[in-house]
Chain A
Amino acid sequence: MSTILVVDDEYLIANILSYALEDEGYQVETASNGQKALDILKGKRVELVITDYMMPQLNGEELAVEIRRQPLLQTLPVILMSGAQAHEGRGNPDLFVAVFDKPFDIREMIAKVKELVGAPKSS
C-alpha cells in the first residue's frame, strides 16, 4: 500500500488533504512541520511527500533539501503546496516534482498523486 506524507502546520489543510487521500485508498501520515516529517521518514517507508512551505522549525524547502541529501530518500518525490512561495518552488524543479498554489483543487492534487505513485495498491 502506498503511503503519502502530508506536511502542514495548518491542521485543517493537512486533515482535508489526508481524508481525501484516504478516501482514494492511500495510507496517509501527517506532520505539522519539516522536522517532524524527517522524524517520520526515518522510521517509515513513504512513496510521496506533500508539503507546505511556511512552517515552524523546518520549512518546506529546507525539508526538501534535507530529503535530497539523504541517500535513501534521494529519489522520493516531493510536491509543494503554497500560496505565497509557490514561485520559489517552481524555481527549484530539482526539489519539487510539482507545485500547487493554495487554495488548490483537491481533484487536481489527487490526479497528480496518481500520476506520480500510481493508484493505491491493495496490500
Chain B
Amino acid sequence: MEQLKRLVSGIDGLDALLKGGLIAGASYIVQGPPGSGKTILANQLAFNHVGQGGRVLVATLLSESHERLFQYLSTLSFFDPNRVGNQIQFVSAFDTLEREGLDPVVKLLRGEISRHQATLLIVDGLLTARSRADTPLDTKKFIADLQGHAAFSGCTVLFLTSSRLDDGSPEHTMVDGVIELGEVLVGSRSVRRIQLRKTRGSGALSGLHDCEITEDGLQVYPRLESLYSHPSGSGSDEQGRVSSGIKVLDELLGGGLPGASVTLVMGPSGIGKTSLGVSFLAAATPEAPGLHFGFYETPHRLRLKASALGHDFAEMERHGALHIGWQPTTEGGLDEVGARLLSQVQAHGIRRVLIDSLGAFTRLASNPARLNEFFRALTGELRARDVSVMATWEMRDIFGSEINAPAPDLSSIVDNLLLMRFVELESELKRLLSILKVRDSYYDPALLELIISAHGIDLQKAFTQATAVLSGTPSPVPGA
C-alpha cells in the first residue's frame, strides 16, 4: 500500500488527528469564524515547517497589515522574527486582486512560489477572493489554478477563510482536506473545537476534538477514545501480582492485585480512599515508579497525609520512586488531562498510578455521554503499558444501603472493585472494606475492618458477629 509523503504540522495533537500530518503537495481549507485561531494555526505550522527546512509563502488577500500581524504573533512562542523575510515571505495580493482580479493573483502567486521555492503556501482571505469572483465557477477555477501550480512544484497549500462553507460548496469539492475551527459554550465555559471535515488520501480521527490557544499556539487534544481505539501495545503476557501496599490485603487477594489491572475504590467522603491509595503508592520503587495523579491534595498536603501513615513521600520522590502530578480541577478539558496522565506515565516509566479521583475526571467532561468510552480507552491504554491503576470514586451517601456504580458497564473499565463503608456497631463508627470483584482470581470475600494508624493501614476480619453490615446499620447475629 502506498503511503503519501507528509508535511508534519508540528502540532502534536493535529498530527495525530491527521495520522501523521498534512499530505505534502495537497491543498486544505482552514475555516472558522474570526478569532477561532486560523491565523495562529497557519503561522504555527509555517514556523514549524521552516524549522524542518521548509520554505513558506504567506499571501494575504486581506487588508490587515502584516506589521499588525507580526505584533500579534510576537506574543506567541513559535514566532521568530529572524525567519520573516527569509524562509517565510509575507506578501499581499490585495491590491492585485482589487485592481486586476483573480487571474493576475494566480499569476502573481505562481511566480512567488517559484521565486521563493516555497514548499508551503498559505492564502489568507479566501472569502475576499470569493467576493471578487463573478461566479462560483471563478472561485473554483481560482482554487484549482493555484493548487495546480502549487502541486506542480510540490508545494502544500492552506486556504484560510472565515466563512462557514458547507460540505457541498465549490471550494470544498476542490480541496483535499477541510479543517474547521470553532468555539462552543458548555455551561458558561467556552470550549474551542477542531474538526477534520474532509481528508482525502488519508485516514483521520473524525469528529470534534478539544483544542486551546496558549502562548505556545494552538494545542489540540484528540478525543482519547479515538486516539486509543486500539491500545498502543498488548502489554506483557506474564502479569503476575502487584502488591497493594497493604500486607493483609495482599494475602486476602491471593498474593496481591493482578498486574496491570485497574482497581476502583468506592466509598463515601472521609472513609480513607486516599489513604488506601497512599499505601498503594508507597509500594512503588525506583525500578517501578509510582505516580499520584490527584485533583484534590496539593503535593504538600499529600506528603503530610503520607507521613501521618508512616510513609516518607519526599524521600521516595528524591529517589525517583514517586512522582506527584497535582491537577487543579479547574484546568483543562477531559482529553487534555487524559493526555497529560499518559504523557507523565510515559516520561517517568510509571508502573503504578493512583487516580484520585475518577469523579474529578467526570467533572471535566463537557459531554458526559462520552465518559464510558473515555475511561475504557484510558484504562485500556494504561493496561497496555503495563501500568497498575488504583482509582477512587466518592459515593454520595455517607451512610445507607444504596450503592451506585460510577458508570454503566463498569466491568469494561475496572478489573477489581473494593467497597468501603461506614458502619455503626457497638456504639462505634467503624470503617469497612470488602472486595467485590477481582479479575480472574479467587479472593477472600470477608468483610474487613480498616484501621488507620501511624503505622499505616491494617485490615482485620471483623463483623463476623453481625448481619446486614453493608447497610451501615447491622444487627447482631441472633444468639451471638
Contact = CB atoms under 8 A, between A and B. Distances in A.
Given A83-B67, A103-B67, A11 B92 contact: yes
A10 B89 contact: no
A82 B90 CA distance: 12
B354 to A, nearest CB: 50
B67 A56 contact: no
A29 B293 CA distance: 66
A56 B98 contact: no
B81 A56 contact: no
A84 B95 contact: no
Given A56-B108, A57-B111, A84-B70, A11 B91 contact: no
A74 to B, nearest CB: 26
B84 interface: yes
A55 interface: yes
A10 B97 CA distance: 12
A32 B97 CA distance: 11
15 contacts: A9-B93, A11-B98, A12-B65, A32-B95, A54-B66, A54-B85, A57-B115, A83-B67, A83-B84, A84-B84, A84-B85, A88-B85, A102-B65, A102-B67, A103-B67
Contact of A13 (B65, B93, B98, B109): B65
Contacts of A57: 108, 111-112, 115
A102 B111 CA distance: 26
Interface of B: 63-68, 70, 81, 84-85, 89-96, 98-99, 108-109, 111-112, 115
Contact of A85 (B85, B94, B95): B85
Contacts of A85: 84-85
A82 B63 CA distance: 17
Contacts of A13: 65
Interface string A65-100: 000000000000000001111001000000000000
Contact-size category for A? 10 to 19
B66 A10 contact: yes
Nearest to A82: B85
Query: Which interface residue of B63, B92, B96 has the most chain A CB atoms within 10 A?
Result: B92
Contacts of A12: 63-65
Contact of A56 (B64, B65, B68, B93): B93
Contacts of A10: 63, 65-66, 92, 94-95
A54 B65 CA distance: 12
Contact of B94 (A11, A54, A55): A11
B449 to A, nearest CB: 72
Contact of A54 (B90, B95, B98, B111): B90
Nearest to B81: A84
Contacts of A102: 65, 67
A112 B64 CA distance: 26
Looking at chain A's contact residues, is the secondary structure mostly helix, strand, loop, or mixed?
loop
A61 to B, nearest CB: 10
Given A14-B95, A32-B92, 12 more contacts: A9-B91, A9-B93, A10-B65, A10-B94, A12-B64, A54-B85, A54-B90, A56-B109, A56-B112, A83-B84, A84-B85, A103-B65
Interface in A19-46: 32
Nearest to B91: A56
Contact of A9 (B68, B84, B95, B115): B95
The 3 closest A-B pairs by CB, nearest first: A32-B95, A84-B84, A9-B92
A60 B438 CA distance: 75
Contacts of B92: 9-11, 32
Nearest to B74: A83
B74 to A, nearest CB: 10
B361 to A, nearest CB: 45
A41 B64 CA distance: 28
Nearest to A88: B85
Contacts of A14: 95
Contacts of A55: 91
A54 B59 CA distance: 11
B117 to A, nearest CB: 15
A7 to B, nearest CB: 11
A39 to B, nearest CB: 14
Contacts of A84: 70, 81, 84-85
Nearest to A104: B67
Among B66, B84, B108: residue with most chain A CB under 10 A: B66
B84 A56 contact: no
Contacts of A83: 66-67, 70, 84
Which among B89, B91, B94, B111 has the highest number of chain A CB atoms within 10 Å? B91
A10 B91 CA distance: 8
A13 B68 CA distance: 11
A54 B91 contact: yes
A9 B112 CA distance: 13
